[in-house]
């Protein structure tokens, strides 16, 4: 909702200011300029990126506007899923997790945490690394090194769409100048016409420059930044998992291992340790009652 509101403010300010200066709204509608600028931008994205990056870019752009913020309930489900998985390991060993980590989407344990199941990258990151721990003895130092490399690779892949959109956004003023130059060529071809006709052609050419600058600073730059922030939020959950697993392998008790991961959650949505204790106590009470 905030992103939509921001977009409306931009449009209202730019168009409203233009109308306040007695500009004619119809003069801004130049389909040929739009085709040149938007077409050149889209073509650049297609040439510069593989299909996988373009698909992920569409997914992230959609996510900027429709995906809900990872609030308290998401953090509760993440921390309690890790707690329950580690408690299962403490009671039955890593082999006790086989039925859960082999097909997490069908696991009774994972099904209790639907918000985590919806996050495919996070769910498989958890399952894959518990599977890694179950395959053989691994030290905390080795596990931390493996997970850091994996997270670096994931961060690079997830940030590629935002970086690509940012680069094309930087080029949009150039595409606007390209459209303006073509407009000036048309203007020079009609230089023998009336002043009104020549003026209309010049105005159309300048609209191309305006659209290029507008697309850069009011659309693509803010959008690429929002995509990057969304990726950082997603990675914070993965960092939480990484730290929890490393603390567990290092021999920390389950609650302290999960608390170590809690500290990596973004500050504005990070639950307090007291709140984590409340969630754990509620889980233990339910387990004892069962």
CA separation for the pair 69, 1 (Å, rounded): 11
Distances in Å between the alpha carbon of 265 and those of 156, 178, 243, 268? 20, 45, 11, 9
What local confidence, expressed as pLDDT, does residue 94 receive? 66
Q: Residues 18-70: pLDDT tens digits?
A: 889 888 888 888 888 999 999 999 999 999 999 999 999 999 998 888 766 67
Q: Which structure tokens are listed for 104?
A: 């997490």
What predicted TM-score, i.e. pTM, was given to this entire model? 0.82
Instruction: Give the pLDDT mean for 73-82.
Output: 93
Contact between residue 71 and residue 269 where contact means Cβ atoms under 8 Å apart: yes
CA separation for the pair 176, 114 (Å, rounded): 46
Rg (Cα) of the chain, in Å, rounded? 26
Contact between residue 120 and residue 238 where contact means Cβ atoms under 8 Å apart: no
Percent of the chain residues topping a pLDDT of 90: 46
Contact between residue 81 and residue 116 where contact means Cβ atoms under 8 Å apart: yes
């Amino acid at each position: 909702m905030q992103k939509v509101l921001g977009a409306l403010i931009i449009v209202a300010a730019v168009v409203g200011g233009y109308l306040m200066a007695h500009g004619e709204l119809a003069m801004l509608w130049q389909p040929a300029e739009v085709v040149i600028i938007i077409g050149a931008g889209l073509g650049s994205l297609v040439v510069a990126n593989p299909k996988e990056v373009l698909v992920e870019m569409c997914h992230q752009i959609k996510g900027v506007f429709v995906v809900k913020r990872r609030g308290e309930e998401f953090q509760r489900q993440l921390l309690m899923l890790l707690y329950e998985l580690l408690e299962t390991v403490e009671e039955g060993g890593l082999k006790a997790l086989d039925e859960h980590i082999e097909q997490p989407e069908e696991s009774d344990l994972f099904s209790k945490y639907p918000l985590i199941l919806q996050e495919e990258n996070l769910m498989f990151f958890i399952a894959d690394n518990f599977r890694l721990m179950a395959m053989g003895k691994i030290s905390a130092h080795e596990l931390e090194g493996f997970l850091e490399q994996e997270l670096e690779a994931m961060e690079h892949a997830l940030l590629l769409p935002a970086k690509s959109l940012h680069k094309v956004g930087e080029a949009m003023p150039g595409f606007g100048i390209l459209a303006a130059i073509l407009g000036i060529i048309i203007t020079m071809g009609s230089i023998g016409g009336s002043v009104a006709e020549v003026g209309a052609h010049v105005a159309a050419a300048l609209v191309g420059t305006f659209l290029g600058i507008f697309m850069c600073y009011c659309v693509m730059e803010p959008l690429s930044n929002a995509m990057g922030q969304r990726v950082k939020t997603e990675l914070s959950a993965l960092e939480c998992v990484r730290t929890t697993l490393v603390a567990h392998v290092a021999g920390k008790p389950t609650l302290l291992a999960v608390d170590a991961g809690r500290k990596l959650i973004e500050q504005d949505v990070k639950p307090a340790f007291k709140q984590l204790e409340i969630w754990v106590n509620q889980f233990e009470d339910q387990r004892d009652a069962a």
